[in-house]
Amino acid sequence: MLDIKFVRENPEVVKENMRKKFQDSKLHLVDEVLEEDKEMRACQLKGDDLKAKTKKISKEIGALMKQGKKEEAEQVKQEIANIKNEIASLGEKENELRESVRSKMLQIPNIIDPSVPIGKDDSENVEVERFGEAVVPAYEIPHHADIIKSVNGMDKEAAGRTSGEGFYYLLGDIARLHEAMISHARDFMIENGFTYAIPPFMIHGDVVEGVMSFPEMQAMMYKIEGEDLYLIGTSEHSMIGKFKGQILKKEELPINMTSYSPCFRKEGGSHGLEERGLYRVHQFEKQEMVVLCEPEDSMDWYEKMWKLTVELFRSWDIPVRQLECCSGDLADLKVKSCDIEAWSPRQQKYFEVGSCSNLSDAQARRLGIRTKGDKGTYFLHTLNNTVVASPRGLIALLENNYQEDGTVLIPKALQPYMGGKTVIGKK
């Protein structure tokens, strides 16, 4: 959410930013916010004047009573009562306007960074850099579901009976490999100075509103019926929510944490669910990283964070690339974002395995996360990045380490988590 003062002083900048994000349908919000904000402040000013007037004429009552002017004193009392009714009415109007302004401000997108490429959707995202050689072997790479099936590693049919479409059982060496990736990612992040955390997997609605836009929430999140609780779609939600309403000490900054959680997503709409495999499912596990830092440090952290994901995937012998998200592909709270995509030798193209985002002070402003400096309190910047989300990371690992004889090599970095195993063989 933007600072209302910034919107007052820079309405055309805010509108131009909407145009760059191809959200012309929202342009009217800026004018409506400015008009309602003006009216709200007028109500507040008038209310303050009336309160001052009430205070002043209240002193007259005592003087009139001393003079025996009872009737005049009663008239003053009635005047005060009328003024108080007007103050109450102004207060109600002010609150209505404040709520309306906030609701509209929540829909106005954050100002994107000047470096963000302009484009309508993810088809116009820009490749920045590749890491590792994208090899297409001479032999055929099966679909990941078939690789897993060959070692009895998955049962979607049983999951359909217990939970429905979009769920799965992982079994044996595949389940173990899945957890090895998560465990290695955890230790990798700890070694890089991040504090490990396991957060709550459900959060209140006000935290949801603080960390994401309403359209995102509707598309992603499951709500617990009859309760103010939502299942998290990523641990970033509860990790940022941890600091809601807090004024953090400057000496504690930056706060950099890595968190494990299961994640739950509707995956509705045009994307749908993948019937055979594990690419798009309702439930998965994820190692995340989040940072809260001084505003001037957030872009440096952004660069550090996505590079850590690249380093981790390269340790598993998976070629990856960094893809800069264009303006139309940025969620409303983000000022800059990039995807890390892994190479698929089967499809001979890259696919998304993680995303790194700088949200500047948008989440902090919504949730009231601040620090105190020489010039008073101010909002921090927040960032998040996927370390690894499995099973997408698992798909990339299986395809890139699949051998002609049907076995899958276990990358050296993961072997200690697999009891020393070096290969998963056909069964």
Q: Is residue 272 part of a domain?
A: yes
Are 18 and 156 contained in the same domain? no
Q: Which residues pair with 88 in a beta bridge?
A: none
Are 184 and 95 contained in the same domain? no
Are 200 and 326 contained in the same domain? yes
The predicted pLDDT at position 69 comes to 78
Roughly what angle, to the nearest 10 degrees, separates helices 70-105 and 27-66?
160
Tokens 């005060």 sit at which residue? Answer: 80
Show the tokens assigned to 382: 């927040």
Q: Is residue 347 part of a domain?
A: yes
Q: Is residue 115 part of a domain?
A: no
The predicted pLDDT at position 270 comes to 46
Domain stop point among 79, 105, 131: 105
Domain stop point among 70, 105, 140: 105
Show the tokens assigned to 139: 């032999």
The predicted pLDDT at position 218 comes to 78
CA distance 288 to 240: 12
Tell me the CA end-to-end span of the chain in Å, nearest whole number: 54
Are 229 and 338 contained in the same domain? yes
Domain of 53?
4-105
Are 253 and 346 contained in the same domain? yes
Are 82 and 195 contained in the same domain? no
Q: Is residue 289 part of a domain?
A: yes
How many structural domains compose the chain? 2
Are 66 and 190 contained in the same domain? no
Q: How far is CA 306 from the centre of its chain?
A: 15
Are 160 and 97 contained in the same domain? no
Are 329 and 245 contained in the same domain? yes
The predicted pLDDT at position 74 comes to 73
Give the up-direction half-sphere exposure of residue 151: CA atoms within 13 A in the CB hemisphere. 22
The predicted pLDDT at position 268 comes to 57
pLDDT of the chain along its 427 residues, tens only? 899 999 999 999 999 999 999 999 999 999 999 999 999 999 999 999 999 888 888 777 766 677 777 777 778 788 888 888 999 999 999 999 999 999 999 999 999 999 999 999 999 999 999 999 999 999 999 999 999 999 999 999 999 999 999 899 999 999 999 999 999 999 999 999 999 999 999 999 999 999 988 777 778 899 999 999 999 999 999 999 999 999 999 999 999 999 999 999 997 544 555 667 899 899 999 999 999 999 999 999 999 999 999 999 999 999 999 999 999 999 999 999 999 999 999 999 999 999 999 999 999 999 999 999 888 999 999 999 999 998 899 999 999 999 999 999 999 999 999 999 999 986 5
The radius of gyration of the chain from alpha carbons, rounded to an integer in Å, stands at 28
CATH label of the domain that carries residue 69: 1.10.287.40
CATH label of the domain that carries residue 260: 3.30.930.10
pTM: 0.90
Residue type for 392, please?
R
Are 261 and 385 contained in the same domain? yes
CA distance 159 to 82: 67
User: How far are the Cα atoms of 72, 107, 117, 182, 265 from residue 214, in angstroms, in the given order?
Assistant: 56, 8, 24, 30, 15
The predicted pLDDT at position 213 comes to 82
DSSP 198: -
Q: Taking every pair of C-alpha atoms in the chain, what is the biggest distance, in angstroms?
A: 109
Domain stop point among 71, 105, 139: 105
Are 263 and 369 contained in the same domain? yes
Q: Count CB neighbours of 233 within 10 A.
A: 23
The predicted pLDDT at position 273 comes to 57
The predicted pLDDT at position 382 comes to 98
Q: Is residue 112 part of a domain?
A: no
Are 259 and 177 contained in the same domain? yes
Q: Is residue 116 part of a domain?
A: no
Q: Is residue 113 part of a domain?
A: no
Q: Is residue 117 part of a domain?
A: no
